[in-house]
Structure 1
């Protein structure tokens, strides 16, 4: 074997190493944790800063990797074919193709990509300076290719290709949370809280508000003794005050303001002027996104708002606690009435009040019932059944069986839900009996 042949084989091996570098760099940089790189950059790590600069222009980084990888693979294959022809004749092309395919797949693709995936952050920090230099060197070729690609994209009927964004950051984060929950890396409660934060932008105050029929309110024309008694018997620290009709809210009574007024009057309740220390009501549209409402609560330093529809009619109320519960789950204290609206039975079925929201039921039971078309469980059944069912009727959808237990006028007040596993067990028992 001549010296030239040895040098060519050495060049082929070097090119395979370069191909492995490009493949590993692509996997490491794309799989690296952006949060980790950002934190390291804040700590003054220059390599992390390079990684972030590369990731800020992904089209240039990917273009550089593709150009470099294609060049070295083609050149390695060409040299291997030439050497094989010299050694084995024309049949050497077949040998070269088979050997180079195995070499590139195993040593230039699978091995480096597997390692880079397992140690993405560490490898990204190592390859970042080299990739930075390669990006500068191959930038003229990259610009030329980008110009040609954009030219042909302009010939397509739409411009969607030009601004393609496979996953928005919002959905990417949500997908990561769900994946980590499935794999067990994130606890279910933690995943629910993280998901609750992401959902704030998709929900409106009308989705979680306390409906006007369930609001605790006080008539401003009642005697002060009755008002004080009602407020003390209530489990709330803030109660809306109305006059003439319940929808005409004229103020918000806070227990702290009431206690201060009692101290000033030296305990003489009969002389209290309730409206003199009641707060001004704050009205918000029912279409306000929860994220915006949370910001308004923080900005105004308020904790309660009355929700009105497009006609200005009061539909309910929302509190800061209601929004926080969408993130952390139910918040209860020693004065809250125990919530028995969701009752799990011994046979695996679940009895729920019709007013229970689908989101609360999903969170407590770990289900995935849709809540886009209806807020409450009763609303979901009516929407799917396309009718107001009677007690005793049952419907099956989304893998669950909904049986109506009680109804008051046109309102479903209680249901029994049998989840998929209970239905399957029941069907198995029936099959065995037959």
Structure 2
């Protein structure tokens, strides 16, 4: 009964004989318990009767009391506590060899076990208990997270982090990790050829969205591997540019990351245009962004959160206002709220409920935030301190 059911299933799939025998008996735990208790009580009662007869012959009527106390100690120590403690601590080492004896006994004593179980099962039904009902063990996401994080000796730390990140994908939407529209880098077809060529040359991305006049009118996505096909004699060929563009792939901002990861795989896409409920473009999300949520930042990532978070000597941090709140939490192991604004600037302004005329400070969930630089309606930099450790 102390066997780990998931390990037992694993060993059974590996064709482990002991696991197969144990699994067969555990299919009907009422019969297994009946068999064990029949043997257990048979031996205990027989030992009690024999010990009483011997004690009476040796000590007379006082032998009954002597036999009772002596046999109780012997049974408790050698037949109950010691072997069952060993079995609880090492269930596989005890259960698998024991199954060699118990399984044949189950078949030999089947009529006895069946008759006893018939009576006990009838009593259980009278109490509203179904003896045939076997509750399947299920693990919730939180329990699975605990299993992964506690498996320190079995799973390397990096792999544990990846598994936990995969579990977290379900609770994160694309708008949590997307590049906001004001930071989107792309090609505007209304610009001159020289400006478009300069835009391509300065690009640090392999996929560039292409739009006319406004980012809400994205007409395609250009892969820079095809750049040679849009140049004629070193000059930009606009007709070729439009031919080489892929159709834009639009996705709702509320799409969960695990769903979007499968969508990217099914549609063979690497870049999605995130739109709100009105169809307006609110940002971009790339396949690499989702993969980074699982494996961590790639070495080629040019927007490392460390470039937005600057530790100070007094233990505080100067953080740019455009820094993503989730990136801050991940980098500093903090717990700033992530169910609202996605950037530090938005988080501060939401809690202030106004645009401050100058520098201001506030405390959010135990974190002291002080505005250092305010440009228009955007916080450019803020000082953050974890007051719980101060």
How does the TM-score come out when normalised to structure 2? 0.78
Partner in structure 2 of residue 173 of structure 1:
144
Structure 1 spans left out of the alignment, 5+ residues: 1-25, 156-161, 424-434
Q: Deviation per CA, 1:140-169, whole angstroms, max 9, x where unpaired?
A: 8668766765675589xxxxxx89667525
The answer to whether structure 1 residue 393 and structure 2 residue 361 are counterparts is yes
Q: Deviation per CA, 1:32-52, whole angstroms, max 9, x where unpaired?
A: 3655654x24xxx5555556x
Provide the rounded CA distance (Å) in 2 between the counterparts of 1:416 and 1:131: 69
Q: Deviation per CA, 1:282-303, whole angstroms, max 9, x where unpaired?
A: 1112222222211221222211
Q: Which of 168, 186, 209 is matched with 2:178 structurally?
A: 209
Partner in structure 2 of residue 111 of structure 1:
86
**Structure 1 residues 168 and 378 mapped into 2: Cα distance closer, same or farther (>3 Å)?**
farther
The Cα shift of 1:100 comes to 3.0
Q: Deviation per CA, 1:26-71, whole angstroms, max 9, x where unpaired?
A: 3244473655654x24xxx5555556x55xx96x354445434444
Partner in structure 2 of residue 198 of structure 1:
167
The answer to whether structure 1 residue 222 and structure 2 residue 191 are counterparts is yes
Q: Deviation per CA, 1:313-354, whole angstroms, max 9, x where unpaired?
A: 222111110010001111132x83554112233343333334
Provide the rounded CA distance (Å) in 2 between the counterparts of 1:345 and 1:139: 75
Contact kept in structure 1, 2:308 and 2:323, CA below 8 Å: yes
Provide the rounded CA distance (Å) in 1 between the counterparts of 2:234 and 2:285: 32
Partner in structure 1 of residue 302 of structure 2:
336
1:249-268 equivalences in 2 (<5 Å): 249-262=218-231, 265-268=232-235
Contact kept in structure 2, 1:192 and 1:363, CA below 8 Å: no
Partner in structure 2 of residue 284 of structure 1:
251
Contact kept in structure 2, 1:349 and 1:418, CA below 8 Å: yes
How does the TM-score come out when normalised to structure 1? 0.71
Q: Helix, strand or coil for the counterpart of 1:356?
A: coil
- Structure with a larger share of its residues in helix: 1
CA RMSD of aligned residues (A): 3.8
The total of aligned residue pairs comes to 373
Contact kept in structure 1, 2:181 and 2:281, CA below 8 Å: yes
Q: Helix, strand or coil for the counterpart of 1:418?
A: strand
Contact kept in structure 2, 1:84 and 1:95, CA below 8 Å: no
Provide the rounded CA distance (Å) in 1 between the counterparts of 2:215 and 2:186: 8
Structure 2 spans left out of the alignment, 5+ residues: 56-62
1:83-94 equivalences in 2 (<5 Å): 83=50, 85-86=52-53, 87=55, 88-90=63-65, 92-94=67-69
1:7-406 equivalences in 2 (<5 Å): 26-30=1-5, 32=7, 34-35=9-10, 38=13, 40-41=14-15, 45-47=16-18, 53-54=23-24, 60=27, 62-83=29-50, 85-86=52-53, 87=55, 88-90=63-65, 92-116=67-91, 120=92, 126=97, 137=110, 149=124, 152-153=127-128, 167-168=138-139, 170-181=141-152, 186-262=155-231, 265-269=232-236, 273-333=240-300, 336=302, 339=305, 340-369=307-336, 371-372=338-339, 375-378=342-345, 385=351, 387=353, 391-395=359-363, 397=365, 400-406=367-373
Contact kept in structure 1, 2:230 and 2:238, CA below 8 Å: no
Q: Helix, strand or coil for the counterpart of 1:360?
A: helix
The Cα shift of 1:177 comes to 1.3
Partner in structure 1 of residue 60 of structure 2:
none
Contact kept in structure 1, 2:336 and 2:364, CA below 8 Å: no
Partner in structure 1 of residue 58 of structure 2:
none
